[in-house]
Amino acid sequence: MNKHQYVAIMAGGIGSRFWPQSRTSYPKQFLDILNTGKTLIQQTYERYASFIPAENIFVVTSIDYAKIVEEQLPNIPINNILTEPSRKNTAPCVAYISFKIFKQDPEACLIVAPSDHIIMDVPTFTRISNNALGFVATHDAMITLGIEPTYPNTGYGYIQYDNTNGAQNIFKVKTFTEKPNLEIAKSFILSGDFLWNAGIFVWKIKTILNALETYQPEMYELFEIEQTSFNTILEYKAIERIYPLCTNISIDVAVMEKADNVFVIPSSFGWSDLGTWNSAYENLEKDYLGNAVASKNVIIIDATKCIVSAPAEKLVLIQGLDDCIIVDTKDALMICKKDKEQEIKEYVAEVKRSKGDSYL
């Protein structure tokens, strides 16, 4: 393993579209959504631990989730669990981990990845990740992994790239497009030069710091002023001063959409961002009527194309439902049509309005 290679696993989200299983106090990255025996963050950690030194794997999460990370990832050094005092999207997160690692290893190369994605073909993913790490170590480049699209999904961002000129299967990015409508998504698929944005980034620390200084100078300066505190007992106090002053912005918008040294690797390794119950449905085995069950005690009668999630100790019987999401927990039950999954956030907002925070 290369001592200059690092990974930062981002684990601060609340996963509201997986309500009622995902809760603010215990969000989806810490759940076994697909009933595999391991949580999403455990699967993510194991993928990277196979080729990144254990001491070089970091998790950036909300201060509210630090204890959960400790419990679920007992092999990670306690000092590698970085806590954010507030949610400010991914750009401050990237700036934080970059300044911290740069102070101890100026030659570091870094993968930044979400904690809650599914990757089925781990050997291919590992090969592509190592290819990206090798490239950014010797080039002034920031790489994103682009997923070869299989249908016109309107819930993903898209990356347009120059597919006529690439070395090592690495191509220059032309444009980023956020969640297009169906007609535009269809045109993207037909064009052959668009990929889904997986939100997995690879760069040399020096390169991303230069990009932050260029495109987000105010944010860069906030961290630069406090850089002597990183890797000391004063670090978290410094972060508490920095974060309230940071813009709430994604690294995609803050840097990647602006920079001219962004490259993409077209990839196919069984990826899903597992962002909705429908994406969970797509990744679960189905019975002969197309029902997917993420539980051990469910009976289905005359129902088709449903996804069912329930506690193992509870018997759940479903009859006569078609194309539904059924999620049962100890204190909440949700039944809704699968084509309404994008409205689950609105349903959660209605729960908050009518019942307060106790079910969130």
Q: Using one digit for the tens of pLDDT, what is the confidence trace for 14-45? A: 888 899 999 999 999 999 999 889 999 999 99
pLDDT tens, residue by residue, 100-155 = 999 999 999 999 999 999 999 999 999 999 999 999 999 999 999 999 988 888 88
* Integer CA distances (angstroms), 123 to 56, 185, 207, 269, 306, in order: 20, 29, 27, 8, 32
Instruction: Supply the pTM of this predicted model.
Output: 0.92
pLDDT computed for residue 165 by the predictor: 72
Tokens of 16: 């509201």
Q: Residue 71: what pLDDT?
A: 97
Tokens matching residue 219: 């944010």
Cα–Cα dist 141/129, whole Å: 14
Task: Please name each of the domains of the chain with its CATH number.
Answer: 5-272 (3.90.550.10), 285-355 (no CATH)
CA distance 114 to 60: 10
E strands, the chain, are 5-10, 57-62, 81-84, 109-114, 118-119, 142-147, 158-167, 170-177, 194-204, 262-267, 271-272, 292-294, 298-301, 307-309, 316-319, 324-328, 333-337
313 alpha-carbon distance from chain centroid: 30
- The runs of H, that is alpha helices, within 105-173 are 122-138
pLDDT of the residue at 190: 85
94 SS3 class: helix
Contact 175/296 with Cβ under 8 angstroms? no
pLDDT surpasses 90 at 1: no
Cα–Cα distance for residue pair 137/207, rounded to 1 Å: 10
pLDDT, tens only, 304-351 = 999 999 998 899 999 999 999 999 999 999 999 999 988 898 999 999
Mean of per-residue pLDDT scores for the chain: 93
Sequence-ordered list of residues with C-beta below 8 angstroms from that of 221, at least 6 positions apart, any chain:
none
* pLDDT score of 192: 82
Q: How far apart are CA 311 and CA 320, in angstroms?
A: 21
41-95 residue pLDDT tens = 999 999 999 999 999 999 999 999 999 999 999 999 999 999 999 999 999 999 9
CA Rg value for the chain: 21
Rounded to 5°, the CA angle 23-350-341 comes to: 70
